[in-house]
Amino acid sequence: MHNSLALRIAGAAGDGIESAGEMVIKLCSRNGLHVFAFRGYQSVIRGGHVWYQIRISNEKLLHFGDMFDILITLNKDAIKEDIPWLKEGGIVIYDPNKFQIREEEKVKKFLEYKIPLQDIARKFSTLSVIQNVVAIGAFTYLINLPIEALDEQIKETFSDKSKEIIDMNLNAARAGYEYAKNNFARLAMSFDYSKKKRLTMSGNHALAFGAYRAGCKFYAAYPMTPASSILHWFAEHAPKGKMIVIQPEDEIAVINMTIGAALAGVRAMCGTSGGGFALMSEAVGLAAMTETPVVIVESQRGGPSTGLPTKTEQADVFQVLGAGQGDFPKVIIAPNSVKDCYYTAIEAFNIAERYQLPVIILLDLYLSERIETLDIEEIELDVKIDRGWIVKEGEIKDYKRYLITESGVSPRALPGTPGYMHVVASDEHDEKGNLVSDVLAGLPSMLKIRNAMMEKRMRKLEYVLKDLPPPKLYGPEQAEITIVSWGSTLYTVREAIEMLKQEGIVANALELKYLYPMHAKEIYEILSKAKRTMIVESNYTSQVGRLIRMFTGINIDNKMLRYDGEPITPLQVFEKAIEVVKK
Partner 1 sequence: MTVTIAELRKYIGEVRPDWCPGCGDFGVLNALQRALAELKLEPKDVLIVSGIGCSSNLPGFTTTYGFHGIHGRALPVATAAKLANHKLEVIVTVGDGDGYGIGMGHFIHVMRRNPDITMIVMNNQIYGLTTGQASPTSLKGHKTKSTPYGVIDEPVNPIVLAIAGGATYVARGFSGDPAHLAMLIKNGILHKGFALIDVFSPCVTFNKLNTYDWFRQRIYKLEETGHDPRDIDAAFKKAREFGPKIPIGLFYVTEKPTYHELFEVIKEIPLVAQPFPTVEEARKILEEFL
Positions touching partner 1 (CB under 8 A) are 30, 197-201, 205, 209, 212-215, 217-218, 220, 237-244, 246, 248-250, 252-254, 256-266, 268, 282-283, 286, 290, 376, 379, 381-382, 385, 414-427, 433-435, 438-439
CA angle at residue 86 from 85 to 88, to 5 degrees? 120
In sequence order, what are the residues at sequence separation of 6 or more whose Cβ sits closer than 8 angstroms to the Cβ of residue 404?
410, 431, 452, 453, 456
Helices (DSSP H) in 202-273: which residue ranges? 203-213, 228-241, 251-263
**102: exposed, middle or buried (C-beta count within 10 Å: 0-12, 13-18, 19+)?**
exposed
CB nearer to partner 1: pick between 136 and 201: 201
CB closer to partner 1, 300 vs 368: 368
Q: Which is nearer to partner 1, 106 or 242 (CB)?
A: 242
CB of 455 to partner 1, least distance (A): 22
In the complex with partner 1, the residue whose CB is nearer, 56 or 261, is 261
Contact between residue 21 and residue 153 where contact means Cβ atoms under 8 Å apart:
no
Contact status, residue 417 vs residue 392, Cβ threshold 8 Å: yes
- Give min distance, CB of 253 to partner 1, in A: 4
Query: Minimum CB separation from partner 1 for residue 161, in Å?
Result: 18
| Inter-CA distances, 198 with 21, 30, 371, 459, Å | 16, 6, 12, 43
Measured from the CB atom, the residue of 213 and 311 that comes closer to partner 1 is 213
- Return the HEC string of 203-215: HHHHHHHHHHHCC
- Distance of closest approach, residue 259 Cβ to partner 1, in angstroms: 6
Nearer to partner 1, 420 or 486 (CB): 420
Least distance from partner 1 to the Cβ atom of residue 256, Å: 4
Nearer to partner 1 (CB atom), residue 313 or residue 428: 428
Question: Measured from the CB atom, is 201 or 323 closer to partner 1?
Answer: 201
Q: Between 263 and 361, whose beta carbon lies closer to partner 1?
A: 263
Residue nearer to partner 1 on the CB measure, 325 or 541? 325
- Compare residues 71 and 220 and give the one whose CB is closer to partner 1: 220
Q: What is the DSSP string of 520-552?
A: HHHHHHHHHH-SSEEEEESSSS-HHHHHHHHHH
Question: How far, in Å, CA of 473 to CA of 507, rounded?
Answer: 10
CA distances 502 to 233, 491, 579, Å, are: 41, 17, 16
Strands 4-13 and 47-57 come out as antiparallel
Q: What is the DSSP string of 459-517?
A: HHHHHHHHHSPPP-EES-SS-SEEEEEEGGGHHHHHHHHHHHHHTT--EEEEEE-EEES
- The answer to whether residues 374 and 360 touch, using CB atoms and an 8 Å cutoff, is no
Q: Is residue 101 within 8 Å of 122, Cβ to Cβ?
A: no
Q: Smallest Cα–Cα separation from 92: which of 104, 127, 105?
A: 105
Shortest Cβ distance from residue 343 to partner 1 (Å)? 14
Measured from the CB of residue 446, what is the shortest distance to partner 1 in angstroms?
14
Q: Is 250 helix (H, G, I), strand (E, B) or coil?
A: coil
CB of 177 to partner 1, least distance (A): 25
* Distance from C-alpha of 312 to C-alpha of 226, rounded to nearest angstrom: 9
Closest distance to partner 1 from the beta carbon of 72 (Å): 25
- Closest approach, Cβ 203 to partner 1, in A, equals 13
Contact predicate 21/209, CB 8 Å = no
Taking the complex as a whole, the smallest distance from the CB of residue 516 to partner 1 amounts, in Å, to 22
Amino acid in position 148: E
Residue 264 CA to residue 275 CA, distance in Å, equals: 28
Least Å from the CB of residue 78 to partner 1:
30
**Among residues 205 and 459, whose Cβ is nearest to partner 1?**
205
Residue 371 near residue 37, CB atoms below 8 Å: yes
